[in-house]
């Protein structure tokens, strides 16, 4: 039989061995963090154009008392995006400085909006739009500087050639997600001579090449934001349809090069559709904008309607496979121009028949190309 001293010695040896094993495991984890962790999925949320007209800027000044505060304005969106693992916005305008702020036609927004976007839960924004050069490359620099200070990543415009060629990568769940962004053109004319990299212009071959470069840089999922389409048109135009087909058809080794397409610019919500097995949001609408007037010069409340796309990605069944969207949702929203607030219409509506009608209209447009058959549903 083992004596008491021997029992104590054996117990002490076991404790010391267990402690050593724990310390070794901790060292290995610190050396290779997450190396043994199983892959797990993530939720991505994306929203439409942020287009601060003069009335929007004035509302932010009123809410601040001194300066500008866009946080109350975005609180309704924050209820949705803050719960996502990765949230992306579309910052359509550039930022001004020293009180030089303006709305349409040459937008220069207060940089405080970047802090409000971060506070609402956004992780990054696309910045390529037809207004990217409203204040030249100085506007791009100020915008990206402010986003950096707020902790927001960005894609679509650049301060240098090196930045333009870098891949914007986010961590979501156990995945690395690349965000690429492009625009059909800029209202201010061509990009400045000698700086063709300042704004990403849409060229199918370039988008595909960039997506493949993002894969080589380690991206598990590639998301492409595209500023495209015909303003005030609910349906995608022929150029949107053609580009969506081409981009989603591109594959490398049998795997799609692009995993999700997010559209902006049309000012109104447009349909969602699964094209070649990949979700395409043709247009998310304006998340924030002042009173909007359509091509006939008539105030059009559709210009204040939008959706948040919400996609749940699951890891591939085997290494090197595609991350799959296992749940696709849209959350209808509207910007109340009188209150200066984004309203979430996916929740119970307290505004009566008018807001219920807005939600139903958004619902019908989003599902108008048969996305319900592929599993798209309205979320709350």
Distance CA 274, CA 279 (A): 4
Q: Of 98, 186, 183, which is closest to residue 136 (Cα–Cα)?
A: 186
pLDDT digits (tens, 9 = 90+) for 223-280: 999 999 999 999 999 999 999 999 999 999 999 999 999 999 999 999 999 999 999 9
pLDDT digits (tens, 9 = 90+) for 43-99: 999 999 999 999 999 999 999 999 999 999 999 999 999 999 999 999 999 999 999
End-to-end CA distance of the chain: 68
Q: What pLDDT band is residue 39 in, cutting at 50, 70 and 90?
A: confident
Q: Tell whether the model's pLDDT for residue 37 goes beyond 90.
A: no
Give me the pLDDT at residue 351, please. Answer: 64
Calculated CA dihedral for residues 88, 89, 95, 101, nearest 10 degrees: -150
Give me the pLDDT at residue 291, please. Answer: 97
Q: pTM value?
A: 0.90
List the alpha helices (DSSP H) in the chain.
4-31, 54-64, 71-81, 112-120, 136-150, 161-165, 204-216, 238-249, 353-366
pLDDT digits (tens, 9 = 90+) for 155-169: 999 999 999 999 999
Q: What pLDDT band is residue 380 in, cutting at 50, 70 and 90?
A: confident
Report phi then psi at 110, rounded to 5: -65, 135
Q: Tell whether the model's pLDDT for residue 303 goes beyond 90.
A: yes
Q: Tell whether the model's pLDDT for residue 352 goes beyond 90.
A: no
């Amino acid at each position: 039989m083992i004596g008491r001293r021997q029992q104590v010695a054996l117990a002490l040896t076991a404790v010391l061995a267990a402690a050593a094993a724990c310390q070794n495991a901790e060292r290995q984890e610190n050396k290779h963090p997450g190396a043994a962790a199983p892959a797990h999925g993530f939720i991505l949320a994306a929203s439409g154009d942020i287009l601060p007209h003069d009335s929007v800027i004035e509302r932010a000044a009123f809410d601040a008392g001194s300066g500008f505060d866009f946080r109350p304005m975005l609180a309704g969106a924050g209820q949705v995006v803050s719960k996502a693992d990765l949230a992306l916005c579309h910052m359509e305008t550039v930022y001004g400085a020293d009180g030089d702020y303006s709305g349409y036609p040459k937008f220069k927004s207060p940089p405080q909006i970047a802090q409000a976007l971060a506070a609402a839960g956004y992780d990054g924004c696309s910045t390529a739009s037809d207004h990217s050069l409203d204040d030249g490359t100085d506007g791009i620099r100020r915008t990206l500087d402010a986003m950096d200070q707020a902790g927001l990543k960005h894609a679509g415009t650049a301060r240098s050639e090196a930045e333009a060629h870098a891949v914007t990568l986010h961590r979501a769940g156990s995945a690395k997600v690349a965000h690429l962004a492009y625009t059909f053109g800029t209202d201010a004319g061509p990009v400045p001579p000698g700086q063709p990299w300042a704004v990403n212009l849409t060229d199918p071959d370039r988008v595909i090449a960039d997506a493949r470069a993002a894969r080589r840089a380690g991206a598990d999922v590639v998301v492409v934001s595209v500023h495209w389409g015909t303003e005030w048109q609910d349906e995608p135009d022929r150029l949107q349809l053609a580009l969506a087909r081409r981009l989603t058809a591109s594959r490398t080794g049998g795997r799609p090069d692009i995993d999700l397409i997010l559209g902006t610019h049309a000012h109104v919500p447009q349909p969602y559709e699964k094209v070649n097995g990949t979700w395409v949001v043709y247009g998310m609408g304006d998340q924030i904008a002042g009173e909007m007037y359509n091509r006939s010069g008539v105030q059009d409340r559709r210009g204040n309607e939008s959706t948040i796309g919400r996609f749940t990605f699951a890891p591939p069944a085997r290494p090197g496979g595609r991350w799959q969207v296992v749940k696709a949702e849209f959350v209808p929203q509207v910007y109340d121009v009188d209150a200066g607030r984004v309203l979430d219409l996916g929740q119970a509506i307290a505004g009566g028949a008018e807001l219920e009608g807005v939600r139903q209209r958004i619902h019908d447009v989003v599902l108008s190309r048969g996305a319900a058959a592929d599993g798209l549903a309205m979320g709350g």
